Structure 1
Amino acid sequence: MTERIDQVLREWPPGYGGVERVAHELASAWGGTVHSFDVQSRSCAEVDALPVTYERVLLPCTPALARLRLPLPSRRLWKLLRSKTPLHGHLPSPGVLLLLLLARLCRPRRCVSAHWHCFLEHDGSFNGALYSFYQWLALRMLPSMSQVVTTSPLLAEELIRSGCAAERVRVLPCSLSAEQEAACLDLQAAPLNRDRPFTLIFIGRLDSYKRLDWLLQAMTQIPSPWCLEVVGDGPRRRDFQELANALFADGQSRRVRFHGRVDESAKQDLLARSQLLVLPSDRCNEAFGIVQLEAMAAGLPALAFQRRRSGMGWVGALPDLEWDQTPQALPEVLKRLAADVQWRQQLGEQARERYLQRFARAIWLRSLDAMRAR
């Protein structure tokens, strides 16, 4: 029987974010208990997006100071810190970083590891300065961890460049659940139809850094009929809807449909009738984009920008899709894809093949076993 591993993260898994989904898949494979601060009170307010089979524990934490939450002294915290069970924490989160360091101090011989999901960018604001200080501190604390796991070779290179010992850095790309993978792989590519509108899909939180506005503006350059399916919700939804209405007033040959949050079945239906996924995030805190895996497994190419300290562009890279992976190049590549149905189908086949060769669940499980064996 393999040794169980406990985890700690800021939000309540599985949630809808990438960090929560990664923690969920690890817990599904490792067992163990997942500890969370549940900052957004998801344990009370939301139905789990994915089936949960492991134990979850809510850790008391301080009231919010900006976005900062730290663990409060409690019996649950003390039990976690004194445990001998290996502990794996998900960063970025100052509270999680503090907890990992306390666990290391309480039991110096305990296996304590960190999952580095992304680097943060300084935007010039006071909060941005605080994030930069946290990241500076975190990078100096990582060498004290038993190992550091990250999601792409690009992030691994950046961690090593930042001072982490190469032998302690492991690359474990994100994964779909077995059920999600099977559902996506079961989707069949639609037959070639040059009269069918070019259908794109965006999946993500409707917030500023997702840059749905850039995608909408790029779509104005496509002369042929198209449809954009927008899946997700968030604080900028109304702004994006107003922008879409302003840009595409006719609503006939060029349509944008906002679906909000949908269940897995509805998402599969939307993927089945789409031909391309676009993830136009402009910050390196979007470092992977698990939705790209869903699209690729379903036979859709995925477009994302290549940014310093991010693996987004690496995830969906295809042999026959050469473009600059910059916001400036997005309108032109969309025009080319809209005009060439056969090329889109070829890219879809390559996307699924890349998924099967590099990101498939069976490959992820083998990588996970190899990582634990070290």
Structure 2
Amino acid sequence: MLGSRWIRHLLPSPSSHLRSPVRHLMDLRSVVSHLKALAPLALAESWDNVGLLVEPSPPHQVQKLLLTNDLTEEVLEEAVGMGANMVLSYHPPIFKALKRLTSGHWKERLVVKALENRLAVYSPHTACDALSNGVNDWLGRALGPCVSVPIRACTSLSHPGGYEHILTFDCDAPATVLPRLQSLRDARVRTYPLMNKDRFHLSCSRDALLQALAILSEKPGLRDSMEIVALQKPPLLDTGMGRLCTLSEPVSISAAVERVKRHLGLAHLRLALGSGKTLESSVNVMAVCAGSGSSILSGVPADLYLTGEMSHHEVLDAVAEGHSVILCEHSNSERGYLQELRGQIAERLEGKVEVVVSKKDHDPLLVV
């Protein structure tokens, strides 16, 4: 007969089941909240379609998040195969309005298959274009250390307190108008005593301003002291579209080409030399814009433009103005940034969600 000491050794430990790996989960809405905090959607261009694009029926838990530059059917199958619960697609797979969801078009099939497999789909796109330390800052580091500033700076996301105007006026008998001004929605009144009268500051929205002017017009003599100031949104430092990069040390155009190749992991690029320039011409200032950058880069004073794509005539314009142009194809100018974005997201989610970068995502254009 075995002694009790030996029996205890043979029996499984009561807590042995706790030693298996712990599954970390995060609610979809919490993940989306973190993504918005990382890259505020208010930074995105007005024409863009950003944010949560496909939402499975709640509650939806996220354990694995797949990052991709483009959500193709191949990438979607990859996401399903690895058991992902969410896909972050840099480019929004839903851009133009979908009038039906059928198997007849590949983008419609994406939405259907995503919902069938309970895959949420999110896109930050131009919010990350504008973001400080976003895709354009990453692209701007292609030539080495530099000082970069946005080509087109973003403005603050909202006016202080939501007010758009300040109306000031002087009045010695405010009792007839003050209560009516204080009752206005989206308005705040402050009073500053002067020698023989009071000065009033009305911070307000545009609609409240029009109502206040109607009220004040009933009292003669106020117009002479009225002043209206429109509040301008101040620029957000380091945030905006494109980057103008002043290099710490100038490089030749030929050296710039090789550095861009290494930075993007590409064997080939397209180069247009600016008028009067050679491969040995110096690059001191570079303007970059990930994706399709002509609308941002046009007319910017730089030795070199680096972007994904420009039309033939846009390249001709740039060359005629003395700017050399490097084109690397649209998604090649963005895809390498996904590794940095993966680290930023993983840190913000505190390791509660596994974040991986797609192996199937690739530029559709090949050099043959």
TM bin, normalised by shorter chain, reads: under 0.3
- TM-score, length of structure 2 as denominator length: 0.26
TM-score (normalizing by structure 1): 0.26
